[in-house]
Amino acid sequence: MQDIDLSGVDPTRWAETRRRVGIIREWCAKPRHTKAEGIAAATRLGLSVGQFNRLVASWKAHGDALRISGSNRRRGASTGTTTLPAATRAAIDAAIATVGADAAFQAVRDEAARRCRDAGTPEASEGMVHYLLMRARRDGAHRARADSARLLIGHVQALLPVSDGEGGAGIPTLLLAVEEASRRVIAHRLTIHGAPSANAVDSLVNEVREGQPTDRRGEIVVAKDLATSPQEGIKHGGGPRLLASILGSHLDTLPLRHQRARPGETRRAPGQPVSLEDAHTAVSSAVDAHNLRL
């Protein structure tokens, strides 16, 4: 069943998609079926017989797992169309420029609201103002670090619920090595047991160093809240949000949270828990997609 192309399917739907495809493949492998078999197969998918027959026809025609997954949109696709009036966008941009991208969100929000009222244009939602502020911060940071040779090692929480194999699930921590100038992810580690260990950080540092030509090695900065063994050429700086201005709130379509992961933390992310194997696959796919778009 691992040969299914799950591109575009949310990882939290992978297990269910495999099950559904398995039922349809089992159905297609038989040339003829009784009425009772049709009802039974449709019931296993929670569908009427007519819906099931249409799903089988779609699979035969397209072989697209997304159509079988039970989700009606491609992973990362917009849930709807939101048109921001040009005057509203201009007011927000002007507010950010006036108050400064590093100012507190509330100050930017209030200035944007004032400018929208003065211009007689609808105010944007707080979410939209926050999104544009974060993008301005990221763009500004990118311009400032354009000539940087530093490599940053930090951690984020990947908001993908991962099964612990014992009936529970938690939010995994993603340890990342990122080139500051290019924003390219060089290496990564995934753990579901809270903060990364010193051994995990050391292993990532060694992997990064082995992949760098000696004459092109830049400074390696490790988030100061990560434990490491004493090593030459390693500096500690920043904290849980070391990578926030570089990666933003997502790695490709994988949502991230930039904050400290505490030992034993098992808070849940929304969605159906995935296996550790699927989590590794989802993270690797997100890293590859992120790097390809740079």
Mind listing the pLDDT tens digit for each residue in 176-195? Answer: 999 888 889 999 999 887 77
Global confidence as pTM: 0.68
Say what percent of the chain tops pLDDT 90: 34
Rounded Cα distance between 64 and 75, Å, is 13
Measured between alpha carbons, how far is 261 from 264 in angstroms, rounded to an integer? 9
Task: Measure the CA–CA gap between 34 and 21, rounded to whole angstroms.
Answer: 20
Mean pLDDT of 232-238: 80
> Mind giving me the DSSP string for 89-103?
HHHHHHHHHHH-TTS
Q: In Å, how far from its chain's centre is CA 208?
A: 22
Determine the average pLDDT of the residues in 105-131. Answer: 91
Instruction: Please tell me the predicted confidence (pLDDT) of residue 113.
Output: 94
CB atoms within 10 A of CB 269: 18
Residue 217 confidence class, pLDDT cut points 50, 70, 90: low
User: Domains in the chain, ordered, with CATH?
Assistant: 11-68 (no CATH), 86-144 (no CATH), 151-292 (3.30.420.10)
The yes-or-no verdict on residue 59 having pLDDT over 70 is yes
Judged against a pLDDT cut of 60, whether residue 274 lies above it is answered with: yes
- Burial bucket for residue 213 (CB in 10 Å: 0-12, 13-18, 19+): exposed
| Mean pLDDT on 73-79 | 47
Pairing of strands 220-223, 151-158: parallel
Here the tokens at position 283 are: 């993270």
Strongest mean pLDDT among 79-88, 217-226, 256-265: 217-226
Q: Residue 265's closest CA among 277, 255, 253, 257?
A: 257
Q: What's the chain's average pLDDT?
A: 83
